[in-house]
Amino acid sequence: MMLRKPGTLAVLLLVAALPARAADTGYMAKLADHTPPPSELAEPVRKLLDDRCIRFLDSKGEVVAELWFRKDVPGKGAGSGGSGLTYREVPRTSLLGAMRVAKKLSDYKKQKVPAGVYTLRLEHQPMDGDHMGTAPYSEFLVVCKAAEDKNPDTMKFKKLHDLSGNVTEGHPGVFLLYPGTGATSQPKVVSKGSGAWVLLYQVGTAGGQKAVLPIGLTLVGTSEAA
């Protein structure tokens, strides 16, 4: 039987004890309590948001983006089957949260979203020939510059289109929403394959009904058709 030298054995044991390489861990999310929404947001928007911040971190533990969601979801009823609201039970263009981008992000259409503070509004993909087959689901969160989106009420789609187009200098900046299956009050990030990383989180309550909106927000990942 071949014996290993003690020094070699020590090295092997040390390597086995090391954590996985950062490149293998992907992205992660951490919840920070008592972290007020950014001052760049208009006060009518800020007061609707929770003071819990979700920090979206890269494989090195560096902040890519920070997110704040609504305390109360503007939905109708308590959701289907007690599992929470669906995206279609929330009015289109509703303000759902805000995001501070620390590092430049690409949206689902591979457009650059510069560092800064943005509102997040719900919108549905148009059902026309230009959009068919470009995404596995038809709901998105659309980004608008905080300085330009000061009224938290819903708005006409054309206005939302124009506001968001100011971010990306063209098509609205859009982040795909997956079904929020498995979302809880603790954020987590899951891989959907093909380079897509999705934040799962239960957003707010719906008035006295105490319903939540489970979301699956794609923060990294782009359309193959983009």
What are the tens digits of pLDDT across the range 120-146?
A: 999 998 655 444 556 689 999 999 999
Q: What is the pLDDT of residue 202?
A: 95
Which residues neighbour 156 within 8 Å (Cβ) at sequence distance 6 or greater? Answer: 93
Q: What is the largest CA-CA distance in the chain?
A: 78
Residue 13: DSSP 8-state: H
What are the tens digits of pLDDT across the range 1-37?
A: 444 444 443 333 333 333 333 344 689 999 999 999 9
Q: What is the pLDDT of residue 185?
A: 92
Q: What share of the chain is helix, strand, coil (3-state, %, to 5)?
A: 20, 35, 45
Q: Does residue 59 have a pLDDT over 80?
A: yes
Break the chain into its structural domains and give their ranges.
22-220
CA–CA separation, 118 vs 121, rounded Å?
10
The mean predicted confidence, pLDDT, of the chain is 84
Residue 204: DSSP 8-state: -
> What's CA 144's distance to the chain center, in Å?
14
Q: Where is 7: in which H helix or E strand?
A: helix 6-17
What are the tens digits of pLDDT across the range 158-206?
A: 999 999 999 998 889 999 999 999 999 999 999 999 899 999 999 986 5
